[in-house]
Structures are given as structure tokens and as C-alpha cells.
A = this chain, B = another copy of it.
Amino acid sequence: MNATYERTNEAPVGVGLLGLGVVGSAVAASLLSADGQRSGLRLCAALVRDPSRPRAVELPSGTMTTDPDSLLASPDVDIVVELMGGEEPALEYITRALSAGKHVVTANKEVISKHGERLRNLASENGVSLQYEASVGGGIPIINPLLDDLIANQILGLRAIINGTTNYILTQMAAGGASFEDALADAQRLGYAEADPTADVDGFDAVYKIAILARLAFGVSVPVEGIYREGIRRTASQDFRYAEELGYTIKLLAAARREDGGLLVRVHPALVPTDVPMAKVEGVLNVVEAEGDLVGPLWFQGRGAGAEPTASAVMGDVLRAASVFRGRGNVPRARQIDPDLPLLDMAEHQCRYYVRLTVRDQPGVLALIAGALGDMEISIAHVLQMDDDPELGSAELVIMTHPAREANMQRAVERIDALGDVDTVANLIRVESYPSDR
């Protein structure tokens, strides 16, 4: 906390914490610091499951509770900070807090992406604020800039690396030739990945986050089920080798862009040219690229996770909520829903494709594959024949296509997969478009 944050002599604003894990503890430490107290905030209560667990922060006695009802009903609590994660009971507690006229700050991307519209309305009906800057990009200011600073822009597109776990795994695979399994185990050992890594590696986390950003940037309600989602489990170490040979690396991208006829929102691994800045965003860093009609392209980069970066965003929200509570302001409201911007299906996407196949190593295979692609109006830009295995009589083939429609590509892959001389289409990765090749 900054020693120069405005002092106040007013009655303290009471804060109740739901959850006291690593982020909750960092927020508690910030509230309990000399500066936190000078700013007029008071930590009244913290909901925990197990009060006996050792924690990084020492709370005033009587603050910890295992009873959500007492915290949510307490007249001392003006702002509820939800840091439990997961859909329930977080959703229930947030709903009850807003209904009771308490301001809410949350870092919960799942709850906001799935129930944000209803919760925003509930907050509005109860004359309180609902903020969630920490739900996307950790400490990177991105939600507030989209809501407020960039409000005069029509946002044309967002493109982001917003899952630190998968970016760490992919960075390890790119640098050291590690397999997905080894890189995942490494991330788990370092605490970057959960024991059950599904939310991260299968792209759910990135889907929640891009749904939140797309709602704010485009004024479109984006149901998470409507977002194309593909994780990184299929990405193999040789994909990095082949991609590098073609001038690319592989990143899990989350993107939303205005196209002809609507908005396309998607999460999937993508080939990114090694010479664009996004290729160099490594490890657990996050980045959000936003393009506005007035401002042009903007780039927001920083630590997308971790206790203290997340606490930075949470505390920014808490201090804003305290201002609102004291009648000194409002938090910016979300753009109104734009009825004229339908969500597009992934079948409408257009890009170049990287296709890795295992084929029988015999003449004529490539002609058959090229024929199947050609039938779907897809032409080949490059072919790499890699890693022959003479014993098995098989070879690995990598094809880069010219730009094609996703629907056509998917049908071509089905046909190629059915060819007798093709063992398997082992991977299909979209190549991200950059202005220079549009």
C-alpha cells in the first residue's frame, strides 16, 4: 500500500473476506497494513473452512469465522470480497451480499462469466457496486480501462494470452523440447498448475476470461458455451520443432473480433510468428492486445496470477467500492447490450492451418491429401516431410495451407482421416493472422 494514499478521518468502511487462501491472505495483509488502516478500511470478518490452518497473515482475534451467515448478515460489513473461487457457494454468497445492500468485489471469473449479467442487474437494483478487475489478467488493469478509459472507442478486437499455467507449459515445451506431460508435471510441482489441471489445460479458464472481456469490450452477452474452446493437450513436442522450422511458436490464444456479420470468440492453441511481440510473452505472464477504432492497438502486459498481483487488483476495487460507499463516486457501468452484433460460429473462422499427419511412407499419399484439400477449396502453401520411421513404414507429414474456412478445413480433415494411406491426422493448429499477412 502506498503511504500517500489519501488519509481519512471518517468512520471506517468494513470489509468481509470470503476465503483466506493465498490471495485472501495477501488482501488481508494489505488491509491490515498501516496504509490500509489509514485509508479507512477495516477488516471485520474472514470466512474460512479451517481456522486452525496456518496462514501467512495474523488476523485480529475474533475476525475469523466458519459461519457465512454471520458474515453476510453483519451490519459492520459494507464490502464483501469473494476470493473462494468456483461456482458454488461463491455465487450464492455474492447474491446474498448484493441483495443485502453490500458492495461486492470478486476475483471469480467463473461466476462473473456465467452469471455476470444477472449479478450486475442485482447490484444496480440494490444501489451497490460489483467489481471484478482481478478476474482477468491478475493485477493488469484491463477491465477498468475497457469500461472507462476506452469507452469512446468501438473496440474492433481483443487477442490475449490470459492463462498463465498453459503459457508456462507451452514456454517450457518451446524452450526445452519437453513433452506436454513432463511440462505439466513441472508446472504442478511449481504450483503453477492444479492437481486436476482441467480448468487450465482444457481452456475453460481462458474461456471464462475472454467471455468477461468480450462482454465489456463489445457490449455483447457471451454465453461461455457459445465460445469455441480447444485446450493444449494435443500439442506435442514435435509440433514446436516443426512450427519453429516454419517460423512460428505455439501459444494458447483467447480472441474476440468483429468480423463481417458478427463477433467471433475463440480459445485455442495457435501458431504465432516468432517475430511478433506475442511470441515473446513467456512463462506465467499475461497479455491483452486491444484494438480500438480511435486508439488503434494497445498492449497491456503483466503478471496474470499470483497472490500479490491479484491483491493489487482486488485492493484497487475495494478502495473504489469504499469511495462509492462514502457517496463519492460510482464505478463505471458496463456498456449496454448491442443487439446488432450476433455471435458467429467457429465454422465462419478463416485462417491458415498447420496439419500434422502420420502417413504410410509410399508414393502418391501427398497427391491424395492434396486432392482432399483441393475438393474443399484449400490449397497447400508448404509441405514438410519429417521423421520417417522406416521400420513402421510410416512418416510424419506437416502441411501448411493457404487461408481457408474452418468449416471446409474440418470436412477436409474428416476425408483425409478416412484415406487408407493416412494413419491419423495427429494435430491441426490454426495459424494466427497478423496485419502483414492479412
Binding site for B on A (CB under 8 A): 1-7, 26, 30, 133, 138-141, 144-145, 148-155, 218-219, 277, 280, 292-303, 306, 308-309, 311-313, 315-316, 318-320, 323, 328-330, 333, 335-338, 340
Contacts and interface: CB of A to CB of B under 8 A. Distances in A.
A151 to B, nearest CB: 6
Contacts of A330: 323, 328-329
Contacts of A154: 1-3
Nearest to A2: B154
20 contacts: A2-B151, A2-B155, A3-B154, A4-B336, A4-B338, A5-B152, A6-B333, A30-B152, A144-B148, A149-B316, A150-B316, A152-B315, A153-B312, A277-B280, A294-B309, A295-B309, A296-B309, A297-B302, A301-B301, A328-B330
B292 A148 contact: no
B337 A315 contact: no
Contact of A335 (B5, B26, B151, B338): B5
A155 B316 CA distance: 14
A152 B1 contact: yes
A150 B312 contact: yes
B313 A303 contact: no
A298 B295 contact: no
A430 B62 CA distance: 55
Contacts of A151: 2, 5, 315-316, 319
A30 B280 CA distance: 36
A156 B371 CA distance: 60
Nearest to A301: B299
Count copies of this chain in the complex.
2
Contacts of A149: 133, 141, 144-145, 313, 316
Given A152-B312, A299-B299, A316-B152, A335 B2 contact: yes
Nearest to A292: B312
Given A141-B298, A293-B308, 20 more contacts: A3-B154, A4-B335, A5-B151, A139-B292, A139-B294, A139-B296, A141-B141, A141-B149, A144-B144, A144-B148, A148-B316, A148-B320, A151-B315, A277-B277, A294-B311, A294-B315, A295-B302, A296-B302, A297-B302, A298-B302
A289 to B, nearest CB: 9
A70 to B, nearest CB: 27
Contacts of A148: 144, 316, 320
A300 B300 contact: yes
A366 B28 CA distance: 59
Contacts of A306: 296
Contacts of A30: 152, 294
Contacts of A139: 292, 294-296, 298
For the complex of A and B, the 6 pairs showing the least CB-CB separation, nearest first, are A4-B219, A152-B315, A139-B295, A141-B149, A294-B312, A299-B301
A277 B281 CA distance: 10
B4 A152 contact: no
A383 B139 CA distance: 43
Contact of A219 (B2, B303, B313, B333): B2
Contacts of A298: 139-141, 300-302
A149 B313 CA distance: 7
Nearest to A299: B301
A7 B308 contact: no
Contacts of A302: 295-299
Nearest to A330: B329
Contact of A152 (B2, B303, B323): B2
